[in-house]
Structure 1
């Protein structure tokens, strides 16, 4: 009797399984949409930062230090 009751409690109908899958898929869809929005925001911020003078000044002040080391170019 206990085994029969337990097996009936664990049975999942097709509609219940479908509702669970729809809920999980919608949650993942929300996460994907949030990730896409963040990607475009980061891309726009990166483009804005690349156009500023601060990045250009830092790039121009770089000096090659490898010639002073023992890399075989003496």
Structure 2
């Protein structure tokens, strides 16, 4: 009975080498995803800059304020 309990506990033990290996793999996976996110961020930033500098966006933004008081409803003579 005691020997059986001892064998189960031995199976649950993890060596420091095994733990270090698992942690290194986990860190590598997270670093991969962080690098992927940074690359995606720079690509989106470049795309946003290209789109804001395009003529279609400038024509839309540059219209600005138009004076509407010179219409026929107002007497501006």
Normalising by the residue count of structure 1, what TM-score does the alignment of the two structures yield?
Answer: 0.75
Shift in Å at residue 46 of structure 1?
0.5
Q: Deviating runs (4+, > 3 A) in structure 1?
A: 60-63
- Once the two structures are superposed, residues 4-51 of structure 1 have per-residue CA deviations (whole angstroms, 9 ceiling, x without a partner) of 121110000000000000000000010011011101100100110010
Aligned residue runs from structure 1 range 1-74, under 5 A: 1-61=3-63
Query: Size of the alignment, in residue pairs?
Result: 63
Normalising by the residue count of structure 2, what TM-score does the alignment of the two structures yield?
Answer: 0.73
Partner of 1:66: none
Structure 1: any 5+ residue segments left out of the alignment? 64-74
> Larger Rg: 1 or 2?
2
Structure 2: any 5+ residue segments left out of the alignment? 66-77
